[in-house]
Amino acid sequence: MRILKLNAISPVADEVFKGYEYSEAVQDPHGVMLRSFNMHDYPLGDSLLAVARAGAGVNNIPIEKCTEKGVVVFNTPGANANAVKELVLCELFLGGRKIVDGANWAQSLKGQADISKLVEKGKNKFVGQEVSGKKLGVIGLGAIGAMVANAAIHLGMQVAGYDPYISIKSAWLINRRVEFTSDLNEVLKTCDYITVHVPLTPDTKEMFNKKTLSSCKDGVVIINNSRGDLVVSADMVEAVKSGKVSRYITDFPDETLLGVENILCVPHLGASTPEAEDNCAYMAGKQLVDYLENGNITNSVNYPTVTLPKSSTARLCVHHKNIKEILSKIVSVISSQGVNIAHMADSSKGEYAYLIMDLDEVPSPASVELIAAIPGVLRTRLL
């Protein structure tokens, strides 16, 4: 099997792909491993079975095109959450205190006489506030948001969490002192600090714009380590210049944001720790291998989780549309060949579904072709 590497990936993945052809030069790959490489104009060849994103965000991958071709897209939710949480905590402090400006000013004193006197005289320009006692709004309570919310409670902050799609897993992990709200406007109006942890989707794109920024509490600090396009940069610059937003800290610099006082641009460092890079590479690699070898799907963003311990001679995997009677049509092709289905698992995610069938005999190529020809079947794979 061949895996194409589209970004530098932690060497931890080299171990996971032992026995595979795995490099930047692979042709006709069965799998792709990447971080932020933009795959939107990348041709999806017929050999391609899956794409694994070593990270959480998948806006650099053409999800719809992949789904229609039966290409499974994986991500690694939670694998870099601690790294991002630590950066957010650092940014909460940087949001209230003028550490960066003060440190830059201190550097400018080099070569001057009596530096300690100059420091004491000049430091009042860099006075800041403490986070303890302030209110933090966490928008998005997935793996990262949940960790940030809990850590902020321990910093003595009051925390409001907003997430209309919160999972049971996240809800269990969240400190009971975090107040849940279903009203985004409430977060905007009442919080001194806001940190955003949502994926970039058509619904979340530009969620911080002139209108929502004008609803914010005066002097709010906004932190964005999720994606740049969640914010309309020009509107943010205006809000910062007017003092509505006292500071904007983002992991996504752009031409409009750079050089503006009280906007701190970090060069996409949220997940850039060796620990997070190792965790993401391992998790993405393992998920990819389990899919390529066993057809199991875990943590896919476009297909449902379907896993089955392999128990029979043959396994037939079918990507199909989530439509009426399709399952009975697939099963009846197998049954009409006199082949027994030992185990079967099927699940759907929105309009798409995935089926694993463990069979007591290898089905004939003709029967697999018949299944592939059923309207709504997107891909078949015999393992």
Contacts with ligand MLT, residue ranges (CB under 6 A): 35-36, 55-57, 80, 268, 270-271
* CB 267 to ligand MLT: min, Å: 10
Rounding to the nearest 10 degrees, give the CA dihedral for residues 90, 91, 92, 97. 100
Contact 126, 105 (CB under 8 A): yes
DSSP secondary structure string, 352-376?
EEEEEEEESSPPPHHHHHHHHTSTT
Shortest Cβ 56–ligand MLT spacing (Å): 4
Question: Which is closer to ligand MLT, CB of 144 or CB of 245?
Answer: 144
Nearer to ligand MLT, 283 or 355 (CB): 283
Helix, coil or strand: residue 264: strand
Q: Which is nearer to ligand MLT, 56 or 288 (CB)?
A: 56
Amino acid at 326: I
DSSP letter, residue 229: G
Q: Tokens 């550097």 label which residue?
A: 107
Give the nearest distance from C-beta 222 to ligand MLT in angstroms: 19
Shortest spacing between CB 228 and ligand MLT, in angstroms: 11
User: Smallest distance from the beta carbon of 47 to ligand MLT, in angstroms?
Assistant: 25
Nearer to ligand MLT (CB atom), residue 16 or residue 271: 271
In whole angstroms, the minimum distance from the beta carbon of 83 to ligand MLT comes to 9
Closest CB 270 distance from ligand MLT, rounded Å: 6
Nearer to ligand MLT, 270 or 295 (CB): 270
d(CA 210, CA 234): 9
Q: Which helix (H) or strand (E) holds 2?
A: strand 2-5
| Alpha-helix residue ranges (DSSP H) falling in the chain | 12-16, 63-68, 81-96, 99-107, 115-122, 143-154, 168-173, 184-190, 210-215, 233-242, 274-294, 326-336, 365-372
Nearer CB in complex with ligand MLT: 57/304 = 57
Tell me the H-state helices in 97-142. 99-107, 115-122
With respect to ligand MLT, which residue has the nearer C-beta, 6 or 271? 271
Nearer to ligand MLT, 217 or 268 (CB): 268
Q: How far is CA 253 from CA 225, 257, 263, 268, 377, in A?
A: 11, 6, 10, 8, 43
The least distance separating ligand MLT from the CB of residue 319, rounded to whole angstroms, comes to 25
Residue type, position 44, single letter: L
Q: For residue 13, which of 55, 43, 47, 48 has the smallest C-alpha distance?
A: 55
Q: Which is nearer to ligand MLT, 36 or 307 (CB)?
A: 36
Rounded Cα–Cα distance for residues 32 and 73 (Å): 9
CA angle 321, 323, 328 (to 5 degrees): 100
Cα–Cα distance for residue pair 220/117, rounded to 1 Å = 33
CB of 253 to ligand MLT, least distance (A): 14
